[in-house]
Structure formats: structure tokens, C-alpha cells
């Protein structure tokens, strides 16, 4: 029986595990608890053309428009075509999405979609309920929580396992026939982000240290509407709020998106830049919810978060927002089966760059990608020949290990790798990073130190890729272009 190690507990890794568990020994490693993942925080739903009046071609066209035609056409067709059957399979397996009184699905509308096609669960809690549902299906999987994976083990034949810190902080190894990187994105590079506290670019850093190819690292999506109070972020305000009738204004009640064809449902990169310009001009930015009936019923999770931070939205119908880091379009380069440049190593979810998101992800395509490509990764592993056992190598170590403070890294990244970039700023960031050592790990490292080193590796990859693209494209905006 093949053994498969999956790094990450979110929807992508869980979907792969679901389709592997009958035929393989599956072990899921997660550095905190299984609930610590971006999938659990996803407020938006899952986009799929399952309504009889919808078509995969329309979904495909919307995805390419949002991605500024930078998408991989083949991978994107796989996403929108397989997404229909994979969503239907999820529903037939018992996953409950929101329906109206007549029992029909309630399709939501979000930015850059030509029509409502987004399924939600419990209003704004889709990611949580879909991920928990998938976790419940994993009856034949071994979970190893509180285990920080620190290195990939590789031989001439490819990836043969992992090195990790166990819950007591001791260094251990584990071998497998295949390893799947499903560790999420890198949002914690930035001080304002929707990402879980554990999302520190681990999958991409593991790949970089092992010499595995990355792609499109310049494309970081900044969500326009994070609940922000006195300069601090307190979670996401879903795009579905704008889909339900919310609109963006400044303190003078001037509508900020009125001049754009899709107005408040323009692609995220467009909205994020407009709001950033408003902030730079000294304005405050709010999301008006005055035209949304039954806001509290439709958005219970957002309502609870607003109440927790004493936002007087019932009195003034306003939510204070600003853009922040949300999703990584780039990542570990894969083919349409999730295979990376290293044999026996796969990547899926936000860690991976399948090419489906192009230069800017279409709203609610990320959970769909987890389902479609999680299943395809499992199929590829099942079809691959079993590898003979090989000696376990030891990853290289170093005695030189110097890291910046996390807040310092985040401030630099926000200023120089953020919503607007310049060649001079990117060069300055890379020059600043050269003062530190973060590529190889010392013998006595801690999980916290590994996270910080991984953030540096991921930030370096963003800066290098952004410097190589002198023109603006999608989420990558060069103010000197």
C-alpha cells in the first residue's frame, strides 16, 4: 500500500486525502490544529456553473477576464468543467448549501461574475462548513497536529518524505511514496491580511529550499474590504456583501466606484487600487450596507465580528474598510495533475500555481480549485508506480542564521511589495533582505524561527518576480510602469 504525506489541513489537502484514503496510507501533518487554515475562514462561496441557465464557457470567460488573460487556458477549462461534476458529487455526498423556501439553490453574485453562480453555506461561513464536512469524511486518515514540517527529504529519484518538529520540539523524519504540499498561502508577510495566523508561506519555502520551481509569485491579491479600525485589520468583509447591494464610499458619502463599468463589483485589483488612492489622498473608506435587507441574517459571521469590535453599523449602516493581503495566485508550479518539478512531490490549493487564477483570482474560484485539483492530485498519485524504498537523506544545516523581526518584515513588505510597487522599492527590499540568513536552517531551530525564515523566503520570491515584470498586470501594479 502506498503511503502519502499531506502537509496542510485545509480543503485542498482534505479533498486529496478523501480520494486517497481507501487505497493508501494517508498521514496529514499540520503545524497547529486542523482548524487552523484559510479554508476555515473563507466567507465567500464556491463558484460553479451548476445552474441550468449557466454554462462552463461563461464561467471560463469570467475567470480569464478577471485574470487579465494570464491564465493557463487548459488548466482553467479543467477548473470550470470538472468543477460542475465535483460540486455535484459534493452535494450528493451530503454537503448542504443554502436554498430558498422552494428548495432551490440561492446563487450569489460577486465581483467580475457575469451572473449569480456562487453557492454559500450558512450565509458567509462556506469555507468553515465545507472544510468541516470534508474533515468528517476522513475516517481512514492519520492526523499529526502540532507538527511543523521543516524540510523535504529528496534523493536522485525525487521526494521521499519530510523532516518535522514533533509537538515536543524534537526533530523527526517520515518517509512516503508521495508528498503533497497543501500548506496554504503567504498572507502573513503583510501586516493587514485576511489569512489565518499560521499562513506563513511554508509550502512555497519548503519547495524553494528543495529546488522546486515556483511561478507567478508577483501576483498577490489584495482584497478591497477588510474590517479595519485604527490601522488594524480584524477580518474580512466578504465580497458577497457588495454582491448583495453594498457599495463603497468615502467620509463625504462620495461613491468611489461609480465611474467604473462594473462599479463596486469590479475585479478586486481594480477596487483595491481605487481604495488605496483614496487613503493616500487622506480619505476614510466605508462599505455602506443601507441597501441590503436582512443584513444580519444573511451575514451572521460578519455581524458577530462587527459586534465583537463594537462597530456601530446598525446606527450608521457603515463598515470601515481598507485593502489587505488575501490570496496568492502564484506558488509552486504544477501541471493539471498537481505534479511539481520534483518527482513524487505534488502541490494543491493556494500553495500551488496551477495557472487557473492568472494575474487576479476570480471571486469564489479558490474553494473550487481545492475540490477540482485535490481530486486530480489523488488520481495522479493512485496512477503513479510505487517507488522502491531509498535511504533517507539529511537536509543541509547551517550555523549562520539571522532573521529580521516579523513586524519589521511586514512593514517593509507592505511598503515595497504591497498594492503599488516600483523598481527602486523592490531593489531596496532585496538589498535589505541580504543582511539576513534564512535559506538553510540551523541544528537548533524552533518552529517560530522556521516560520520567520519561510516568510523571508516567500517575500524574496515575490520581490524577485515583481522586479522581472516591469509592466503592471492584474494584481501586480507598478507605479513606475
Based on the structure, what is the number of domains in the chain?
Answer: 2
Domain-embedded: residue 287: yes
User: What pLDDT does 395 receive?
Assistant: 78
Q: Which residue segment(s) compose the domain that 311 sits in?
A: 225-323
User: What pLDDT does 393 receive?
Assistant: 76
The three state secondary structure string of the chain is: CCEEEEECCCHHHHHHHHHHCCCCEEEEECCCCCCCCHHHHCCCCEECCCCCCCCHHHHHHHHHHHCCCCCCHHHHHHHHHHHHHHHHHHHHCCCCCCECCCCCECCECCCCCCCCCEECCCCCCHHHHHHHHHHHHCCCEEEECCCEEEEEEEECCEEEEEEEECCCCCEEEEECCEEEECCCCCHHHCCCECCCCCCCCHHHHHHHHCCCCEECCCCEEEEEEEEEECCEEEEECCHHHHHCCCEEEECCCCECCCCCCCHHHCCHHHHHHHHHHHHHCCCCEEEECCCCCCHHHHCHHHHHHHHHCCCCHHHHCEEEEEEEEEEECCEEECCCCCECCCCCEEECHHHEECCCCCCCCCCCCHHHHHHHHHHHHHHHHHHCCCCCCCCCCCCCECCCCECCCHHHHHHHHHHHCCCCECHHHHHHHHHHHCCCECCCECCCCCHHHHHHHHHHHHHHHHHHHHHHCCCCECCECECCC
CA distance 56 to 261: 23
Active-site residues, by number, are: 268
Phi/psi at 32 (5° precision): -120, -130
Q: Which residues pair with 152 in a beta bridge?
A: 162
Please indicate, yes or no, whether residues 85 and 155 belong to a single structural domain of this protein.
Answer: yes
Please indicate, yes or no, whether residues 237 and 307 belong to a single structural domain of this protein.
Answer: yes
Domain-embedded: residue 389: no
What is the model's pTM?
0.95
Please indicate, yes or no, whether residues 133 and 75 belong to a single structural domain of this protein.
Answer: yes
Domain-embedded: residue 407: no
The residue to which cell 451575514 is assigned:
299
- Alpha-carbon dihedral 201, 203, 204, 205, rounded to 10 degrees: 80
Domain-embedded: residue 192: no
Domain-embedded: residue 403: no
User: What pLDDT does 267 receive?
Assistant: 85
Q: Residue 288 sits in a domain of what CATH number?
A: 3.90.700.10
Please indicate, yes or no, whether residues 161 and 143 belong to a single structural domain of this protein.
Answer: yes
Please indicate, yes or no, whether residues 273 and 167 belong to a single structural domain of this protein.
Answer: no
Domain-embedded: residue 283: yes
Do residues 41 and 129 lie in contact, with contact meaning Cβ atoms separated by under 8 Å?
no
Domain-embedded: residue 263: yes
Please indicate, yes or no, whether residues 315 and 335 belong to a single structural domain of this protein.
Answer: no
Please indicate, yes or no, whether residues 49 and 171 belong to a single structural domain of this protein.
Answer: yes
Last residue of one domain, picked from the residues 362, 383, 404: 383
CA distance 71 to 67: 6
DSSP letter at 174 equals E
Please indicate, yes or no, whether residues 126 and 258 belong to a single structural domain of this protein.
Answer: no
Do residues 454 and 201 lie in contact, with contact meaning Cβ atoms separated by under 8 Å?
yes
Please indicate, yes or no, whether residues 9 and 153 belong to a single structural domain of this protein.
Answer: yes
Domain-embedded: residue 135: yes
Last residue of one domain, picked from the residues 273, 298, 323: 323
Q: Which positions ≥6 away from 362 have C-beta within 8 Å? A: 47, 62, 63, 66, 67, 112, 113, 267
356 CA to centre of own chain = 13
Please indicate, yes or no, whether residues 276 and 337 belong to a single structural domain of this protein.
Answer: no
| pLDDT tens over the chain, length 481 residues | 999 999 999 999 999 999 999 999 999 999 999 999 999 999 889 999 999 999 999 999 999 999 999 999 999 999 999 999 999 999 999 999 999 999 999 999 988 899 999 999 999 999 999 999 999 999 999 999 999 999 999 999 999 999 999 999 999 999 999 999 999 999 999 999 999 999 999 999 999 999 999 999 999 999 999 999 988 889 899 988 999 999 999 999 999 999 999 999 998 889 999 999 999 999 999 999 999 999 999 999 999 999 999 999 999 999 999 999 999 999 999 999 999 999 999 999 999 999 999 999 999 999 999 999 999 999 999 999 987 777 777 777 777 789 999 999 999 999 999 999 999 999 999 999 999 999 988 878 899 999 999 999 999 999 999 999 999 999 999 999 7
Q: Residue 344 sits in a domain of what CATH number?
A: 3.50.50.60
363 CA to centre of own chain = 12
Q: Where would I find the beta strands (DSSP E) of 72-157?
A: 118-119, 141-144, 148-155
Last residue of one domain, picked from the residues 255, 289, 323: 323
Please indicate, yes or no, whether residues 359 and 310 belong to a single structural domain of this protein.
Answer: no
Please indicate, yes or no, whether residues 295 and 356 belong to a single structural domain of this protein.
Answer: no
User: Any alpha helices (H) in 141-209, and if so which ranges?
Assistant: 202-209
Amino acid at each position: 500500500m502506498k503511503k502519502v504525506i499531506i502537509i496542510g489541513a485545509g480543503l485542498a489537502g482534505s479533498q486529496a486525502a478523501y480520494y486517497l484514503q481507501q487505497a493508501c496510507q494517508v498521514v496529514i501533518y499540520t503545524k497547529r490544529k486542523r482548524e487552523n487554515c484559510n479554508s476555515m475562514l473563507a466567507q465567500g462561496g464556491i463558484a460553479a456553473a451548476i445552474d441550468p441557465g449557466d454554462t462552463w464557457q461563461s464561467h471560463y470567460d469570467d475567470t480569464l477576464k478577471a485574470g487579465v488573460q494570464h491564465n493557463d487556458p487548459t488548466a482553467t477549462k479543467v477548473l470550470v468543467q470538472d468543477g460542475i461534476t465535483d460540486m455535484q458529487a459534493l452535494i450528493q455526498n451530503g454537503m448542504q448549501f443554502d436554498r430558498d423556501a422552494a428548495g432551490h439553490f440561492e446563487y450569489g453574485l460577486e465581483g467580475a461574475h457575469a451572473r449569480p453562480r456562487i453557492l454559500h453555506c450558512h450565509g458567509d461561513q462556506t469555507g468553515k462548513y465545507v472544510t468541516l464536512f470534508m474533515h468528517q469524511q476522513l475516517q481512514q486518515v492519520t492526523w499529526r497536529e502540532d507538527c511543523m514540517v521543516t524540510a523535504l527529504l529528496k534523493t536522485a529519484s525525487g521526494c521521499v518524505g519530510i523532516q518535522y518538529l514533533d509537538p515536543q520540539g524534537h526533530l523527526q523524519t517520515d518517509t512516503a511514496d508521495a508528498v503533497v504540499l497543501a500548506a496554504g498561502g503567504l498572507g502573513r508577510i503583510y501586516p493587514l491580511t485576511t489569512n489565518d495566523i499560521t499562513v506563513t508561506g511554508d509550502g512555497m519555502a519548503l519547495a524553494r529550499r528543495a529546488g522546486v520551481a515556483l511561478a507567478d509569485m508577483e501576483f498577490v491579491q489584495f482584497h478591497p474590504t477588510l474590517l479595519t479600525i485604527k490601522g488594524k485589520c480584524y477580518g474580512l468583509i466578504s465580497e458577497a456583501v457588495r454582491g448583495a447591494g453594498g457599495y463603497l464610499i468615502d467620509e463625504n458619502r462620495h461613491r468611489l466606484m461609480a465611474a467604473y463599468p462594473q462599479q463596486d463589483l469590479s475585479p478586486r485589483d481594480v477596487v483595491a487600487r481605487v481604495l488605496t488612492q483614496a487613503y493616500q489622498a487622506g480619505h476614510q473608506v466605508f462599505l455602506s450596507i443601507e441597501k441590503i435587507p436582512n443584513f444580519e441574517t444573511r451575514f451572521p459571521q460578519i455581524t458577530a465580528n462587527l459586534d465583537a469590535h463594537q462597530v456601530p453599523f446598525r446606527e450608521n449602516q457603515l463598515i470601515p474598510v481598507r485593502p489587505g493581503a488575501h490570496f496568492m495566485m502564484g506558488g509552486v508550479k504544477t501541471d493539471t495533475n498537481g505534479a511539481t518539478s520534483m518527482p513524487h512531490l505534488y502541490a494543491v490549493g493556494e500553495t500551488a500555481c496551477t495557472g487557473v487564477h492568472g494575474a487576479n483570482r476570480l471571486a469564489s474560484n479558490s474553494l473550487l480549485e481545492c475540490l477540482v485539483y485535490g481530486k486530480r492530485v489523488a488520481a495522479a498519485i493512485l496512477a503513479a508506480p510505487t517507488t522502491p524504498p531509498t535511504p533517507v537523506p539529511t537536509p543541509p544545516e547551517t550555523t549562520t542564521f539571522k532573521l529580521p523581526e516579523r513586524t519589521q518584515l511586514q512593514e517593509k513588505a507592505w511598503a515595497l511589495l504591497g498594492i503599488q510597487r516600483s523598481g527602486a522599492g523592490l531593489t531596496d527590499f532585496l538589498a535589505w533582505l541580504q543582511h539576513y540568513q534564512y535559506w538553510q536552517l540551523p541544528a537548533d531551530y524552533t518552529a517560530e524561527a522556521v516560520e520567520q525564515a519561510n516568510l523571508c523566503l516567500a517575500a524574496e520570491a515575490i520581490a524577485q518576480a515583481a522586479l522581472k515584470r516591469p509592466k503592471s498586470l492584474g494584481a501586480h501594479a507598478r507605479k513606475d510602469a
